[in-house]
Amino acid sequence: MVFSSAVFLFVFLPVVYLLYRLIPMRTGKNLLLALSSILFYAFGQLQYVPLFLGSILLNYFSGLLLIRADKPSRRKLFLAISVILNIALLCVFKYTDFIITELNRGFSLSLPKSGLDLPAIGISFFTFQGMSYVIDTYRDPKGGTKNFLKLLLYISFFPQLIAGPIVKYHDIAEQIDNRTETLEETVLGIQRFIKGLAKKVLIANAVGYIADRVFNVCLPGGIHDWRLMWLGGICYTLQIYYDFSGYSDMAIGMGHMFGFQFRENFLHPYGAASLKEFWRRWHISLSSWFKEYLYIPLGGNRKGKVRTVLNKLIVFFATGIWHGANWTFVFWGMGHGLLSSLEDLGVIPAKKLEKSKLGRIVAKTYTLLAVMLLFVIFRANTIADGLSLIRYMFVGRADVYSSYLLQSLLSPAAILFLVLAVLFAGNLPVKLRNCLEKSAFVTTGTYRLFSLLLSLMLYTLCVMDLARGGFNPFIYFQF
C-alpha cells in the first residue's frame, strides 16, 4: 500500500484517523495504531508479516536482556548477538542472491540462487530502527522499555515504516505515553501531507516517467543523443529528491495528525555548496544513524587524517550497500566518500570557494554536477551502463529520431513540471519562507485562508492525476 494510492487516501487513513479520535484512552490509541500498522504492512505481502514481527520480537527481547543484565560482559554479549542477528536477517533477505552471483562469477561456480524475495516494504528501515533501539538500550538501560506495545508501535508505526525517516526510540518515547492532538496540529499535518503528496504525484511522477524512458528505453536501445542523456540524468536527480522528500513530508504530516513530532529528513540538499553539506541536508536520519552508530565508534575524526578518510570510506561503503545488492550502489557510496574526503583534505577547495559569491556559485555547480553524475550510476542497472550514459552526455550525437523522441517527452505539461521541479529543488523555498516571515501578511487570516485554499487545490490536482492511473512508484520502497 502506497500513500499515493486510492485505498490509502480514501479508506485506510480516514478510517484509522476517525477510529483514533473516537478512542478515549492513550493505550487504546496506541494499540489501534500498532494493529493498523501491521495491517498496513500486511497489505499485499501477508507472507512477510511473521518476518516483520520476528524482527520486532528479536529487538524487544534483546532490550529486556540488556535492561536486566547486571554484568558488563553479559551486556556486551547480548548486544553482539542482537546486532549480528539483525544484520544476518538483513543479509539473508537482501544480499544472498547477490553474494551467490558474485561467487559464481569470481570462481566459475554454478551455485543455485536462493529464490528468496526481498520484502517489498523497507526491511532496511525497520531493521536499522530496531538496531538503534538495542544499541541505545545497551548504552543506557534506563532508556529501554519493558512494554512490548510501546516498542511495537515505535518500530511499526505506518507513516515512517517503509521509507523512514529513521526514528530513535528516545526521541519519541515520551510522545508514545504523552502527546496531544490539537486541531491546529491536525490542520498543519494535513497540509504537510498534501505538500508531500503533491511533490510525489505532480512532480516526481512527471520527471520520473522521462527518466525511466531514458534509462530503460533510450540507452539500451542504442539511442545516445547527448540531450536525452542530460535530460535523463537531470530528471532522475529530481525524481529521487521529490519522491523521497515527498514521502518524508507525508510521514511527518501524518505524525502531526496523530500527535507525533518527527525530525526533518531533508533540508533542501540541492542548495548545498559541498558534498559534506549535501549529506547534512540529504536523508538526515540515515546519515545521522551511520554517524552515531558506525562513524563515531570507528573513531570518527579523532585518530588522524588517514584514519578519518578510512572511517569515512567505510561509512559510505555501508551507506551504498545499505541501498541494495548491486555494485552501482557501492560505486555511488564510495564516490561520495572519496569526494567528501577530498573536500576535508582541501584537495577540493569547497570551503575556500564559499568565501566569495562567485566561488559559492562554482561550489554549488560542482556539488550539483557530482550529485547528479553519481545518481546516474545509482540509477543504472550496471556501472558500465551508468558510465556509458555519462560518456554520452559529453560525446553523444543528436539525430532526427532523437529529436522526435525528445519532443514527445517534453510536452508542455512536462516542461512546466520540470521547470517547477528545478526552481523548488534548491534554496528558493527557504528564501520565499524568509520573505513571508518578515512580512506581516503571514500572521493574518487572509494568509491562513490562502494557505488552506492552496492545499485544497494541490490535493484536487493530485486526486485528478491519480484518477488517470499510470506511473506511480515509490523509489525507496525497494530499500
Task: Supply the residues annotated as catalytic.
Answer: 323
Give the CB-side neighbour count of residue 316, counting CA atoms within 13 A.
22
Rounded to 5 degrees, what are φ and ψ at 356?
-125, 160
Which cell goes with 52?
A: 516483520
CB 398 within 8 A of CB 225: yes
Count of CB atoms situated within 10 Å of the CB of 96: 16
Question: Distance (Å, rounded) from C-alpha 29 to C-alpha 180?
Answer: 12
Which element (helix H / strand E) includes 429?
helix 428-438
CB 388 within 8 A of CB 219: yes
Helices 183-198 and 226-257: crossing angle in degrees, nearest 10, is 170
List the one residue out of 169, 225, 198 whose CA is nearest residue 406: 225
Grid-cell match 487516501, residue found: 9
For residue 17, the one-letter residue type is Y
Helices 72-107 and 123-139: crossing angle in degrees, nearest 10, is 150
Which cell goes with 419?
A: 521547470
Which element (helix H / strand E) includes 263?
none
Question: Distance (Å, rounded) from C-alpha 155 to C-alpha 145?
Answer: 13
DSSP 282-321: SSHHHHHHHIIIIIHHHTTTSS-HHHHHHHHHHHHHHHHH
Q: Which residues contact 409 (CB under 8 A, 6 or more apart)?
A: 210, 213, 228, 231
Q: Which residues contact 51 (CB under 8 A, 6 or more apart)?
A: 89, 93, 119
Q: Name the CA dihedral angle for 210, 214, 215, 217, rounded to a multiple of 10 degrees.
A: 110
Q: Name the CA dihedral angle for 83, 84, 87, 93, rounded to a multiple of 10 degrees.
A: -140
CB 276 within 8 A of CB 370: no
Question: Distance (Å, rounded) from C-alpha 21 to C-alpha 351?
Answer: 51
